[in-house]
Structure 1
């Protein structure tokens, strides 16, 4: 199979670019494809219509599903989907508006009020899935066998019934559902608003959390240290609040897990990801066993390259001596990513370009905006939106490639409809990480300067370590924290100890961690928003390493077409079925080792290359 060559990429300009120019004309999304504003009459009408339909749906069908014929039940599922799609449009709009500016109190009130209204409406729909799960397997199969219309919904029914053993009584389920807005969701909102309104003092500057964290990749070590200490101080001042949020949410999860008889804290997430606990254990075990040959080995080399006896936590993402720290203008980043996609599949690139031709991306930097990046699918009748904080660095280009992969995946899967378009988190990361890999390989293959090529390779290793090693360390931290929370409330000092324990284990002896790093767990949003999400990144990275290897060696005919079909499947197929056309099996323990071997191979290549430019050791 032909490699991606430089002809597919724009010629990079080597002129320096100042920060103001890098941030100029960054896109801001336009949410009017959902609603014109919080007071849009269409939004109020959608809520009113859905509430009326939901009440009628409950009155007509509650307690009667067992007696419905297959075609009638299929029509009921279609009606249920239509109502949820309308509610999904409303909640997507409120959530995106809040993410765009959480400092605006009106956005927070609108977000909370919307959640409360949708919860009230959807309480009339709750009976439907509970009652479906009370049907015996043979009775449901009999209905499906007699109705082609109902057979279309088999994947959704299959995934719904995964939670059958953990279902509570209708009354208990309704109580948990209605209390969500005043319970877990309220604590999540408190976390989000706290982060969004925080200021980090770095020298004489007052920065947002996102801007301060971005300083940790500055070339000047003194600037990195100042930013790191500013972050430590800002979160340290609020550590009791973040500890309270963490303790409350962990206890809330423990209570519900015990009622639902989940064997351990991560089991619900694994069920949601349609993956067995044992498969996750195999992944985590393989990564932990590989810490020495991956992160420990790489960071020992990085310390030498930086001329340091020991790395501090603010050196983890430091640029390497060879690294090109030129800021990449947004238009160049866009074309670089789209060209990389096009070299793989013109169809993939064409879908991706729609995000830039239309106002579907918010990449601008501003106070109150959510930190990090995400792709929100909204609903199939609309389109996804991407949020980034684009600082113009090479990692930001890879983040763009990553989130665009999500967006393209969400568009392709949208044909499956609201209920079956969403993929488990483990598979949701496939297209994003694959998009990153396409962009990286295109840039690497186009680079002819050995020093810059080596820097690109080292940067990719760091990204992969952040995706695999660091996320599994996060998963280990969550596991330790939730296990310990079951013995009682955890003091913030103990949370810091657990955090430092996994950092030492995962990053290795090249680091000398200062005590102030003990509070850095507090800014990780996944711990609050989606407990035990983080291993999905490692799952996706190792899966993509194996998948991309198949693509590069040309062993699978029509790989691109099969890849697009995999994305179009949405949530209708499990990982075994999706990977079978590529000759891969994630249930095979050797599968994970094969993915980790790719990272180790990159490190091998870096070790083999002589470096005559290593600076003398310095702590400056």
Structure 2
């Protein structure tokens, strides 16, 4: 099935903002989930759950063992029936998941989500045959059906993606087993991680604070507060390191076992297939970024050390604000105005698409006890609308996070036109609209800078965001590659994982950093590694793509807005090569990535020139 739970993903470019109280932020919006269901016991939810059980059984009874005998019209009906099931299952799990992430420490919400997941898994187990039988249909026969029926041909990208898994397909019985046991496999370890993270508290001068508030302190102007926060994080991570190590060991081993049975050549293969991207394209991206470490992160952090008056930086200085930086809190309404002005400035249609998120209860913004950390935009299902989760605390970086998640939301609204099966965008393209939304917001703020100092602060902030999005995420990707490779050779101790983490940190951050004891455990809280192995390179892919895309826009490319909206509307119906071709861009060209990286390097050039 296509549905999945919304995942709390830390934005690549953000550490959330101020104190949990949210003073001076104004009225922060909360979700209104009534567009999905009104309550756990809503009659509509009961009705849909009963419908889902019967629909899955009927689907299996009607189609199992018969897909190869269907004509084009029959195959279209089969796909549409499957899509209807996907829609209802996705609606149920979206409601359960979004409620859970609002308060992950609420036992009732956790039970409700778990119960829904178990029921949906049981109901949909009879559907496992569907993808297996599709992969057994002869290529020529499918091609004939697509040629005969245009409505069926519209679904060809779904067939293509599914059939890319053909070489790695297991027996029908094994596929059913893997589907059936999923709720007590990775999903259970994901939940243990989420609940452990949400339950952590950190002692800051006698006050117990949650993770978000302490991560925010790493961006405090006061260096002693940043150090205190870093030590508090290290202490609690170390106290819980055995749990985090067990989670990573188990998930990596489970993945290795399944990959081995499927005969996947690498641990990354499954992610590349789901992203519909060629391994050599990802490798070209990775190599380009690693080669650029010296002219990007190493050079920038050396410059930042000079600004901070330090010969050597500690890890808690990485996201420190610049001296004299305005620490004024950005109220929620002001943040909305900034982002909406940028969106409307690009095209009024973009503003119209973003407006309902603010006035119809599609955003949950406040930091609350037990709420999942980070931020995400979840598309739910195509006949409802997306929901955005933030932990908004009023820092300028939080404004960028709002711009980022709204970009996802706009993308998801437009892609919904494709229908449930074709709307979902591969991760490599899913970051396009979000990063573009950030770039629009940044460029607007930069154009309004009134002094050299204000421009410097904005440029430095954007460079840091881009380094976090590109350099740091590729370092994360290398860490995951090393972790999964090492796990194939046996159980990893916490110290083993710490060593792998530090090997990529030193390489990516550069010689200006001193790595004090404690930082070696900071891999423990990153949810990408647990929920979505190898997700992280999608951030770098998206940033590089958007940098190249924005350059075309800045050059005044004819009809750019129309091409851009067409790209977003396409959802998952086209390959990245097809989507980029109208802009004259090609991600398979190694020079494509250098073009994106040169934008970051150019901003650092300007910052260095300001020192003269």
TMscore range, shorter length: over 0.9
Question: What's 1:123 paired with?
Answer: 125
Q: 2:406 & 2:325 partners in 1: Cα distance? A: 25
TM-score (structure 2 length as normaliser): 0.96
Deviation of 1:20 (Å): 4.3
Contact 1:477–1:498 (8 Å) recurs in 2? yes
Partner SS for 1:124: helix
Deviation readout 1:134-156 (Å, 9 max, x if unpaired): 11111111222222221121121
Question: What's 1:606 paired with?
Answer: 607
Question: What's 2:379 paired with?
Answer: 377
Deviation of 1:71 (Å): 0.7
After TM superposition, list the pairs within 5 Å mapping 1:220-259 onto structure 2: 220-259=222-261
Q: 1:331 & 1:63 partners in 2: Cα distance? A: 57
Deviation readout 1:249-308 (Å, 9 max, x if unpaired): 000000011111111111110111011111111100000000000000000011110011
Deviation of 1:18 (Å): 12
After TM superposition, list the pairs within 5 Å mapping 1:367-446 onto structure 2: 367-446=369-448
Q: 1:507 & 1:255 partners in 2: Cα distance? A: 34
Contact 2:548–2:596 (8 Å) recurs in 1? yes
The runs of 5 or more residues in structure 1 that have no matched partner are 1-15, 612-620
* CA distance 1:358–1:60, shift in 2 (3 Å): same
Contact 1:251–1:486 (8 Å) recurs in 2? yes
Partner SS for 1:47: helix
Partner of residue 174 from structure 1, selected from 173, 176, 197: 176
Question: Are residues 1:51 and 2:53 paired?
Answer: yes
Deviation readout 1:375-410 (Å, 9 max, x if unpaired): 000000100000000010000000000000000000
Deviation of 1:500 (Å): 0.8
Partner of residue 284 from structure 2, selected from 282, 292, 296: 282
After TM superposition, list the pairs within 5 Å mapping 1:116-265 onto structure 2: 116-265=118-267
Partner of residue 494 from structure 1, selected from 483, 493, 496: 496
After TM superposition, list the pairs within 5 Å mapping 1:524-563 onto structure 2: 524-554=526-556, 556-563=557-564
Partner SS for 1:201: strand
Partner SS for 2:165: helix
Q: How large is the RMSD of aligned CA atoms in angstroms?
A: 1.3
Partner SS for 1:125: helix
Deviation readout 1:477-517 (Å, 9 max, x if unpaired): 00001000000000001111111110000000110001200
Question: What's 2:477 paired with?
Answer: 475
Partner SS for 1:21: coil
Deviation readout 1:425-456 (Å, 9 max, x if unpaired): 00000000000000000000011111011110
Question: What's 1:571 paired with?
Answer: 572
Question: What's 1:96 paired with?
Answer: 98
Q: 2:20 & 2:254 partners in 1: Cα distance? A: 47
Q: 1:523 & 1:53 partners in 2: Cα distance? A: 40
Question: What's 1:10 paired with?
Answer: none
Q: 1:325 & 1:172 partners in 2: Cα distance? A: 56
Q: 2:261 & 2:202 partners in 1: Cα distance? A: 41
- Matched residue count: 595
Q: 2:151 & 2:576 partners in 1: Cα distance? A: 25
Q: 2:539 & 2:369 partners in 1: Cα distance? A: 28
Question: Are residues 1:594 and 2:563 paired?
Answer: no
Q: 1:534 & 1:148 partners in 2: Cα distance? A: 36
Question: What's 2:522 paired with?
Answer: 520
The runs of 5 or more residues in structure 2 that have no matched partner are 1-17
Contact 1:375–1:407 (8 Å) recurs in 2? yes
Contact 1:17–1:326 (8 Å) recurs in 2? no
Contact 1:23–1:365 (8 Å) recurs in 2? no
Partner of residue 457 from structure 2, selected from 449, 455, 458: 455
Deviation readout 1:72-123 (Å, 9 max, x if unpaired): 1101100100011000000011111110000100111111111100101111
TM-score (structure 1 length as normaliser): 0.95
* CA distance 1:382–1:18, shift in 2 (3 Å): closer
Question: What's 1:584 paired with?
Answer: 585
Q: 1:293 & 1:88 partners in 2: Cα distance? A: 44
Deviation readout 1:293-341 (Å, 9 max, x if unpaired): 0000000011110011111111100000142211100000001001001
Contact 1:70–1:149 (8 Å) recurs in 2? no
Q: 1:38 & 1:186 partners in 2: Cα distance? A: 21
Partner SS for 1:447: coil
